[in-house]
Amino acid sequence: MIYPIIKFPDPVLMKPAEDVTVFDKELKQLVADMFESMYEAQGIGLAAPQINIAKRLCIIDLSFKKDPAQKIVLINPEIIENSGKQHEEEGCLSLPEIREKVNRAFQVKVRAQDVEGKWFEIEGTELLSRAFQHEIDHLNGILFIDHLSRLKRDLVLRRIRKMQKNGEW
């Protein structure tokens, strides 16, 4: 099933998500549906709140379907280490057409559960590190535009309001 992507300023995007506590076939189906929904929307990462499900679950596939081994599922994730800095452009399926440079850690280590509920750790640098941080931010009710300076954020919000007014959002 392909879920529609929730757009900013939907309140579900600004609230911390709840922990996943049940690891069953419904969860596995949700994960499969999230990958389908993400690919349909042309994304490389998707958090459950973006499909109106306030659970601490996100997925990432930097290969965009080319390498099944690169599909990552993070349930109840938390960043346990980070180092370095990077300043790169980001976009978001919930903020279509908005792209801005954001400061992130260059390297992160994440602790999370898999679809069976087993804990694991995974590290990422560069784009994977940014994807981890971006998707985990979603689970904490934070959007990438929240990392922008007040001036840049205000400009983005003004652009969104204009698109809403014109029926383009």
Q: Name the catalytic one among 81, 90, 135, 168.
A: 135
Distance CA 105, CA 64 (A): 23
Verify whether residue 36 is a known catalytic residue. Answer: no
**Is there a contact between 38 and 46 (Cβ–Cβ < 8 Å)?**
yes
CA–chain centroid gap for 87, Å, is 18
Q: What is the DSSP string of 17-53?
A: PBPP---SHHHHHHHHHHHHHHHHTT-SEEEGGGGT-
Residue 147 labeled ligand binder: no
Residue 58 labeled ligand binder: no
H-state helical runs in the chain: 25-40, 126-139, 150-165
Distance CA 31, CA 44 (A): 14
Cα angle value 7/97/10 (rounded, 5°) = 15
What's the token pair of residue 21? 């506590």
Residues involved in catalysis: 135
Annotated binding residues for Fe cation: 92, 134, 138
Annotated binding residues: 92, 134, 138
